[in-house]
Structure 1
């Protein structure tokens, strides 16, 4: 509103100032956008996004969407991990059971040796008396 008076007095000058302002504003905006792109490595991110979009065009099945039930959505991601973890735990359990079996056999052998030594002691004690 306040510029209308200036425009009526000198339309070419006002138009020239306006054009310069718009030109400088556009250059400034482009420069700031380029700085943001450079800082955030956006060029590479946009290129990878374009690649994903292109790959998605060739897909026939629909893309995954959340079901709205968080438990079900998480389950699909957790089940493979939990199955892998379960097999790992079973492997460790088997190793520990084998280790315990060996220790139990060693304990039994030790007890048998103790019993033999006790009998030997008793036999020598009787022989000495």
Structure 2
């Protein structure tokens, strides 16, 4: 008797589940396939979503199933836009833009399915741009360093010239001083 009551409770739960999850009535004792159960759950979820008001701007019409309305809404492109490969471009400005193959800022990339290739195709232009920027910065810094090095060498040459002038003046002063001593010595001898 306990088994019969638990079996009835189980059937009652199944019937309750079927009644809650499906708008169609299901005879007791029948099983529902997983696909149909999933389809029913999705329909119920979408109906509750629409009832909550968070479905977005395109609500289904009265004769259209909710699931179909959402699938069509997801597949539609925004107005005034035309699909071109994997990118969308406004149809009114299409004539004024360069093709993607000629524009270096917008290389066309399509995922290959291999993460390494996709990462390489996405990151390579960025790294090349960074490398070029760093090269220009290094060249600019090297040119500035060359100018500073030339200025330092010119300053050293001026210092050498000034040292030579100081040595020449010192030698001239020493020679003059020696001559003065000799002259003074010659003048003092007669006494």
Unaligned runs of at least 5 residues, structure 2: 1-11, 13-46, 59-69, 88-108, 175-191
Quote how far apart the aligned CAs of 1:121 are. Answer: 1.1
Cα RMSD, aligned residues only = 3.5
Quote how far apart the aligned CAs of 1:66 are. Answer: 4.0
Q: Secondary structure at the match of 1:83?
A: helix
Larger C-alpha radius of gyration, 1 or 2?
2
Unaligned runs of at least 5 residues, structure 1: 2-26
Quote how far apart the aligned CAs of 1:86 are. Answer: 1.4
| TM norm structure 2 | 0.40
Higher helix share: 1
Query: Structure 1 stretches (4+) deviating beyond 6 angstroms?
Result: 46-49, 62-65
Query: Quick one: which of 119, 132, 137 aligns to 1:92?
Result: 137
Query: Quick one: which of 160, 163, 171 aligns to 1:126?
Result: 171
Query: CA offsets, 1:29-51, max 9 Å, x none?
Result: 6431x1x24xxxx439x979732
Instruction: Determine if the alignment matches structure 1 residue 79 to structure 2 residue 79.
Output: no
Q: Quick one: distance in 2 between partners of 1:118 and 1:72?
A: 66
Quote how far apart the aligned CAs of 1:114 are. Answer: 0.8
After TM superposition, the structure 1 = structure 2 runs for residues 59-78 of structure 1, keeping only pairs within 5 Å, are: 59=84, 66-78=111-123
Higher strand share: 2
**Residue 20 of structure 2 aligns with which residue?**
none
Query: CA offsets, 1:30-79, max 9 Å, x none?
Result: 431x1x24xxxx439x9797326x734xx5x6897643432111000111
Query: Quick one: which of 57, 82, 86 aligns to 1:55?
Result: 82
**Residue 34 of structure 2 aligns with which residue?**
none
Q: Quick one: distance in 1 between partners of 2:49 and 2:129?
A: 52
Aligned residues: 94
Determine which structure has greater relative contact order: mean sequence separation of CA pairs < 8 Å that are 6+ residues apart, divided by chain length.
2
| TM norm structure 1 | 0.56
